[in-house]
C-alpha cells in the first residue's frame, strides 16, 4: 500500500462559476444566454449531440468552463434541464451537449434543427480534478450516456498525454446500438497510449466484443492501484458496483471520483431539488470523491 500523503486538492477543484467575480453578462442569474445549434450528431436512436455557439460575442468571451461542469439548458417553450459539457475544453468557440430523449425538455430539444436557438445558463458546478491528478495513472469507468461528462476529461488528458501515467477507459452500454461517440472510440482504440475496453449488456449478431456489465472488465486492467485515480460516471447502480470493486482492488476512498446526478431546477443552490443531505449538488458538486460521499447518508446504497 502507498504511504504517500493524501492529495487534498482532489476534492478542492473549484472552477470559476457563473456567479464568479465578474458577474453574469445577462445581468441576472436566472436569465439564459441565447445560443445557436450549429450541428447535430445522432449518437444512438434516442441520443443526439448538439454543437452550440453562444450568439453574443460578449457572452462567448466571458464563457469558459472546465471538464465536469454543466449548464442549465433552456429549450424555449419547454423549460430547463441540467446537461454536462461533452466536448473538448480546448475548443473555446463552441461546445457540445449530449442529450438523451427522456422528458419534456429533452423531448422538445430533439425536435430542434440546426440554426434553432436555445438558452444557456452556466457554467455550473465543480469539475474533475484534472490538475491534481497529474502524474497519476487514470482509470475511467463509465456506462451508457455517462461517457458524456467524462469526454471532456478524456480529450483533455489525450491532449496533455505526457502529464499523465497509464490511461484506461472501461465503457459499458446496454446494446451495441446504445454506444455513444462510436467515432471517438474507433480513434481511441487505435492509440497505443490509451487502453480502451468496451462491453455491452446484451450483444447482437455483429457484436464480437465483451458481453456483461462494465465491472467484469476490471479483471483485464493492469494498474498499480496505489498510484492510480478512478473517475466514474454512469447509472447509480453502475457507480455503486464500480466503486465497491475499485475499493476492493486497492483504490483508496479519496482516489475514486464520481459525478452524481440529481433532478435540478435553479443550478445556483436555491431551489432545493438537488440536495444530498446538506450539500447542494449544483454548487458544491456534482463531482465528489467516494470518501466525501461517505459523509452523506443519503447516498449510501
Partner 1 sequence: MNVGDKLILRKSNVSDFFSSLQGEMQLIAPKKRFAGDVVFDVVNSPEEIVWEYGHDIYPPGKRYIFPHYEDMFSYRRGEQISIDVAAEAPKQAIVAIRSCDVTAVRFQERFFSTPIVDPFYKARAENTVLFSLVCNEPPKKECFCICCDGGPYLETGFDVQLTDLGDRFLYEIGSEKGLRASEPRQQYLEPSSEQDIAERKRIELHADSLFQTASYIAKAIIYITSDEVPDEVWEELGSTCFRCAACTNLCPICTCYTVDDRPEPDGSFTRCRSWDSCQYAGFTREASGHNPRPTFGSRVKRRFYHKASFQYIMRDGRHGCVGCGRCVSSCLTKLDLPSVVKKIRRAMHDYIEPKSRPTAFLQ
Beta carbon of residue 147, minimum distance to partner 1 (angstroms, whole number): 15
C-beta closer to partner 1: residue 133 or 179 = 179
Q: Does 57 bind partner 1 (CB under 8 A)?
A: no
Q: Does 78 bind partner 1 (CB under 8 A)?
A: yes
Q: Does 53 bind partner 1 (CB under 8 A)?
A: no
Q: Which residue from 7, 19, 38, 136 is in contact with partner 1, where contact means CB under 8 A? A: 19
C-beta closer to partner 1: residue 289 or 299 = 299
How far is the first Cα of the chain from the last one, in angstroms, to the nearest whole number?
27
Q: Does 8 bind partner 1 (CB under 8 A)?
A: no
C-beta closer to partner 1: residue 29 or 132 = 29
**Distance between CA atoms of residues 20 and 145, nearest Å:** 29
- Angle of helix 151-159 relative to helix 182-190, nearest 10 degrees, comes to 30
Nearest to 259 by CA among 62, 66, 55: 66
Q: Does 113 bind partner 1 (CB under 8 A)?
A: no
Q: Say which residues have a Cβ less than 8 Å from residue 26's Cβ, sequence separation at least 6.
A: 32, 33, 59
Q: Does 117 bind partner 1 (CB under 8 A)?
A: yes
Nearest to 101 by CA among 47, 148, 143: 47
Q: Does 277 bind partner 1 (CB under 8 A)?
A: yes
Q: Does 12 bind partner 1 (CB under 8 A)?
A: no
Q: Which residues bind partner 1 (CB under 8 A)?
A: 19, 27-32, 34, 76-81, 100, 102-103, 106, 117, 119, 235-236, 261-263, 265-266, 268-273, 275-278, 283, 297-299
Amino acid at each position: 500500500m502507498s504511504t504517500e500523503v493524501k492529495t487534498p486538492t482532489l476534492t478542492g477543484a473549484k472552477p470559476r462559476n457563473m456567479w464568479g467575480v465578474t458577474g453574469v453578462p445577462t445581468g441576472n442569474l436566472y436569465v439564459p444566454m441565447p445560443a445557436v445549434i450549429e450541428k447535430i450528431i445522432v449518437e444512438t436512436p434516442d441520443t443526439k449531440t448538439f454543437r452550440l455557439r453562444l450568439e453574443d460575442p460578449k457572452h462567448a468571451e466571458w464563457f469558459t468552463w472546465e471538464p465536469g461542469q454543466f449548464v442549465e439548458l433552456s429549450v424555449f417553450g419547454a423549460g430547463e434541464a441540467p446537461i454536462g459539457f461533452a466536448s473538448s475544453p480546448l475548443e473555446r468557440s463552441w461546445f457540445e451537449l449530449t442529450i438523451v430523449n427522456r422528458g419534456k425538455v429533452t423531448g422538445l430539444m430533439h425536435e430542434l434543427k440546426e440554426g434553432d436557438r436555445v438558452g444557456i445558463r452556466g457554467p455550473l458546478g465543480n469539475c474533475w480534478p484534472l490538475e491534481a491528478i497529474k502524474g497519476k495513472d487514470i482509470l475511467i469507468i463509465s456506462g451508457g450516456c455517462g461517457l458524456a461528462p467524462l469526454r471532456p476529461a478524456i480529450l483533455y488528458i489525450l491532449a496533455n498525454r505526457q502529464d499523465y501515467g497509464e490511461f484506461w477507459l472501461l465503457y459499458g452500454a446496454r446494446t451495441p446500438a446504445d454506444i455513444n461517440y462510436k467515432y471517438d472510440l474507433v480513434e481511441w482504440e487505435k492509440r497505443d497510449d490509451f487502453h480502451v475496453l468496451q462491453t455491452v449488456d446484451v450483444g447482437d449478431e455483429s457484436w464480437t466484443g465483451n458481453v456483461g456489465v462494465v465491472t467484469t472488465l476490471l479483471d483485464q486492467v493492469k494498474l498499480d492501484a496505489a498510484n492510480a485515480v478512478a473517475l466514474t460516471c454512469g447509472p447509480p447502480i453502475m457507480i455503486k458496483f464500480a466503486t465497491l470493486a475499485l475499493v476492493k482492488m486497492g483504490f483508496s476512498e479519496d482516489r475514486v471520483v464520481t459525478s452524481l446526478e440529481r433532478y435540478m431546477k435553479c443550478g445556483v443552490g436555491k431551489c432545493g431539488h438537488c440536495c444530498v443531505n446538506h450539500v447542494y449538488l449544483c454548487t458544491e458538486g456534482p463531482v465528489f470523491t467516494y470518501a466525501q460521499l461517505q459523509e452523506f447518508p443519503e447516498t449510501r446504497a
